[in-house]
Structure 1
Amino acid sequence: MESNVAVARLSALAQPNRLAVFRLLVRAGNEGISAGDIARSLNVAANTLSSQLNILSHAGLVTSTRDGRSIIYRAAFHAMADLMVYLVEDCCQGHADICVPISEITDRIACCG
């Protein structure tokens, strides 16, 4: 991953409402969630949500598909995984003990992979 892509993704997540939207989409899984349901779940105005989703989408963190009259949004799990790998790929530098907390976290989420 190029650093400018990582910066764009981190910047997109570096705002409380956008982070809340992204975390909600992660919880929704591959099924995704409609824009209206996101707005109701997070108590966000439709125009504000549209802006937030647009920023997340341009960063490659969110995808959308039309389902009748609704647009279903999903977290781009591959993009999230790529960002996480980019952030920690040089973590250990030959010292495995440094990365123990990270490996403990990945063990906790291994159930989902």
Structure 2
Amino acid sequence: MDGKLAVGALGALAHEHRLAVYRMLVERGPDGLAAGAIAERLGVPASSLTFHLQHLLRAGLATQRRVGRQLIYAADFAAMNALVGFLTENCCGRGVAACVPGRAPAAADESPSTPRRKAAAR
């Protein structure tokens, strides 16, 4: 993924409703969800949801397919993984431990004896 695509994807996610929709689609998996179900779960009008889903589609983060009369939306996991890869491709310059999800890496100038660390340990 290049920087321009990453900016587009991050921009699409930079809205409360779009981020909520995207997280819902990721949780749902490849089967996706019907637009009506998404609107109901989020409590947003269908017209507003369409606007937000179009942003995710244009950014390449979601896919759309028709099943009968319903539009089914799903997260594009390849695009999601490409974005995460783009964001983390240089993170191991500080060592593999810095790349472990769910763990904030220590700043380079911090040591276990710094006051901030001692306060956090209490």
TM-score range, shorter chain: 0.7 to 0.9
What is aligned with 1:102?
101
TM-score normalized with structure 2 length: 0.80
| SS across alignment from 1:31 | coil
CA offset at residue 17 of structure 1? 0.4
TM-score normalized with structure 1 length: 0.86
Amino acid at match of 1:102: P
User: For 1:94 and 1:13, how far apart are their aligned partners in 2?
Assistant: 28
Number of matched residues? 103
Segment of structure 1 superposing worse, 85-94 or 66-75 = 85-94
Task: Give the gaps of 5 or more residues in structure 1.
Answer: 105-113
What is aligned with 2:90?
90
Task: Give the gaps of 5 or more residues in structure 2.
Answer: 104-122
CA offsets, 1:23-44, max 9 Å, x none?
A: 1111111111000000001101
What is aligned with 1:15?
15
CA offsets, 1:35-64, max 9 Å, x none?
A: 000000110100100000000000000100
Q: What pairs with 1:74-89 in structure 2 (closer than 5 Å)?
A: 74-89=74-89
| Structure 1 or 2: more helix by fraction | 1
Larger-gyration structure (1/2): 2
What is aligned with 2:69?
69
| SS across alignment from 2:91 | coil
User: For 1:71 and 1:33, how far apart are their aligned partners in 2?
Assistant: 8
The runs of 4+ residues in structure 1 deviating greater than 4 Å are none
What is aligned with 2:51?
51
